Amino acid sequence: MNNEELKISISAILPTAIYDETGEFLNVNIASEELYPLINELRSKNEFDFNYLFCLTCIDWKDHLMMVYHLLSKTHQHTIVLKAKISNRENPEIETVCNIWRTAELLEREVFDLFGVKFINHPDLRRLFLTDDWNGYPLRKDYVDENMITL
Amino acid sequence: MEINKSMEGPLTFPGQVHETADGGILVTKLDDVINWARSNSLWPLVFGTSCCAIEMMSAAGAKHDWSRFGFEVARASPRQADLIIVAGTIVMKMAPVLKRLYDQMPEPKYVIAMGACTISGGPFFYNTYSVVKGVDHVIPVDVFIPGCPPRPEALLHSMITLQEKIKHEQYFKKKIEDVR
């Protein structure tokens, strides 16, 4: 499918999705609560068949967090970027996608480690790179620690 | 620092030979002999944490070949190594591991801090939560070699500088504090 066809098909599932084509891929902006039903459809429906999650990350926009999912279909060779806005920055929560793509297990642990996003139903949500007794989440914009020298 | 002419070059044995009918008598100082032996056979530990390690491997490879200066074989075990070249960024999580490796090395042991990251944190000095700002916070350093990364020639220079430093050590006058 090309971007226009993808937009029409996604809007049929989720009419509130907002599209943005300024980047390399088609960006689909949604709210965090809408993520799981949509992403499940994208994986299971044959017309989409997004069978490869090639990047999962997070952005701190200071007033909210945003989860970013890069999805690719190896059968149809189409790509989209799904951006889910998490409004609650103090206690950010989103549904895990581990049961759809196993690779998300480690990627989500990394996001949990560095941004502090809690993934609901994640099988093993622990810190990945940092030590278990680490305080705070270093990739948050407001992170401070005593070893850090700021310009 | 004045370099003793009799100690110049790795092949020159320190001391004077007084010819006698049956061969000769060697007059030398133990310090000189020990330092001559030590400085010409420094085995580095296989240790590299980032891009500086690539330059270090290049210095060990055929083109630059640090074996020419007695660095010979890199040892995979700290128990058999005399020298640790800290090649690359040391992060907070790596620091205790590095300290442990250093502690496992037998005396005498030497440290070369290779590159900007190990000297001061380098490009990761500001706004980072994970990088140790200078490896000398963790272990004592003998020679610093700047660069990002330093070229193999620069690394060889630092190693030869270390040899020069070892040649001026006074083993029997060393205090316990100096050894630590």
| pLDDT band (50, 70, 90) for residue B3 | very low
Cβ atoms of A26 and A7 within 8 Å: the answer is yes
User: Among A110, A128, A132, A147, which would you mutate to test the B interface (most chain B Cβ atoms within 10 Å of its Cβ)?
Assistant: A147
Q: Which residues contact A48 (CB under 8 A, 6 or more apart)?
A: A1, A6, A9, A41, A42, A73, A76
In CATH terms, the superfamily for domain A3-120 is NADH:ubiquinone oxidoreductase Nqo5 subunit (3.30.460.80)
Asked if the C-beta of B126 comes within 8 angstroms of chain A's C-beta atoms, the answer is yes
Cβ contact, residue pair B93, A130, below 8 Å: yes
The pairing of beta strand A93-95 with beta strand A118-120 = parallel
- Mean pLDDT, chain B, rounded, equals 87
Q: Give residue B7's pLDDT band: very low, low, confident or very high (50, 70, 90).
A: very low
Residue B10 has pLDDT above 70, yes or no: no
Q: What is the pLDDT of residues B88-120, one digit of tens each?
A: 999 989 999 999 999 999 988 999 999 999 999
Look-up of token digits 């050590």 = B169
CA distance A15 to chain B (A): 41
- CATH class name, domain B39-166: alpha beta
pLDDT tier, B12 (very low <50, low <70, confident <90, very high otherwise): confident
Task: Out of B125, B129, B133, name the one closest to residue A143 (CB).
Answer: B129
Per-residue pLDDT, B175: 62
Residue A131 in contact with partner chain B when CB distance is under 8 A: yes
Q: pTM (2 decimals)?
A: 0.80
Q: Hey, where are the domains in chain B?
A: 39-166
User: Are A56 and A70 spatial neighbours (Cβ–Cβ below 8 Å)?
Assistant: yes
As a whole number of angstroms, the longest Cα–Cα distance in chain A is: 52
Closest approach of chain A CAs to the CA of B50, in angstroms?
A: 17
For A150, the closest of B126, B130, B133 (CB atoms) is B126
Residues of chain A above pLDDT 90, percent: 72
Contacts of A150 in chain B (CB under 8 A): 126-127
Asked whether the beta carbons of A80 and A6 are under 8 A apart, the reply is yes
Domain ranges of chain A: 3-120
Structure ipTM over 0.90, yes or no: no
pLDDT digits (tens, 9 = 90+) for B123-180: 999 988 889 999 999 999 999 999 999 999 999 999 999 999 998 888 777 666 655 5
Q: What is the pLDDT of residue B178?
A: 58
